[in-house]
């Protein structure tokens, strides 16, 4: 998994572009800036958008190449983000810390998903929000017709 994403992000181009995910941006801009965590942040398009909008940002991803691109993007905008390389179980965040946790196309391994969900709730402040966008089950049919659309190839992902 890590190797797959490292290879994907090793290219000079940004795999998902430098602009943030549209849904993420739309939801984020409705909120007053506070502390946000972006798990599986990839090349940083969403964390950099949040930092540019005044949020205090923490992000993590298993991909070292993802972090390199995120640092590059942050530098381009003359800001810094606290981006760590690792999976949630390798990192320590204090409980009741974040106003928002954003899960944008993270589709974590099903074996860890339930545990991550519990942990994310623990890391959110009371009344905190989760912004999430993920694939619909219908995406599989689309994917089998045209593999270029990307995304999970199995229902379990
Ligand atoms: C489809 S990409 C989405 C990247 C980013 N959220 C975006 O919207 O541009 C999924 C990301 O999840 C990361 N990932 C997968 N499993 C992970 C885990 N257990 N912990 C942290 N990151 C993980 C991958 O390395 C990859 O960057």
Condensed to tens digits (0 to 9), the pLDDT of residues 103-116 reads: 999 989 989 999 99
43-58 mean pLDDT: 98
Mean pLDDT over each residue of the chain, to the nearest integer:
94
CA angle 73, 54, 96 (to 5 degrees): 105
Domain-wise residue ranges, the chain? 2-147
3-state secondary structure string across 16-82: CCCCCCHHHHHHHCCCCCCEEEEECCCCCHHHHHHHHCCCEEEEEECCHHHHHHHHHHHHHCCCCCE
Find out whether the beta carbon of 87 lies less than 6 Å from any atom of ligand 1.
yes
Q: Quick one: 2-147 is in which CATH superfamily? A: Vaccinia Virus protein VP39 (3.40.50.150)
Condensed to tens digits (0 to 9), the pLDDT of residues 75-106 reads: 999 998 999 999 999 999 999 999 999 999 99
Give the residue, out of 106, 150, 153, with the most ligand 1 atoms within 8 A of its beta carbon, to mutate for a pocket test.
Answer: 106
């Amino acid at each position: 998994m890590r190797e797959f994403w490292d290879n994907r992000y090793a290219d000079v181009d940004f795999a998902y572009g430098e602009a943030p995910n549209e849904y993420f941006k739309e939801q984020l801009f409705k909120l007053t800036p506070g502390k946000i965590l972006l798990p599986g942040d990839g090349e940083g398009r969403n964390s950099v958008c949040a930092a540019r909008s005044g949020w205090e940002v923490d992000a993590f991803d298993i991909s070292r190449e993802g972090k390199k691109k995120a640092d590059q993007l942050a530098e381009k905008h003359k800001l810094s983000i606290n981006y760590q390389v690792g999976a949630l179980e390798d990192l320590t965040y204090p409980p009741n810390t974040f106003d928002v946790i954003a899960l944008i196309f993270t589709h974590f391994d099903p074996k860890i998903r339930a545990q991550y969900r519990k942990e994310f709730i623990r890391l959110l402040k009371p009344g905190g929000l989760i912004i999430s966008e993920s694939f619909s089950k219908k995406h599989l049919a689309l994917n089998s017709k045209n593999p270029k659309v990307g995304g999970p190839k199995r229902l379990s992902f």
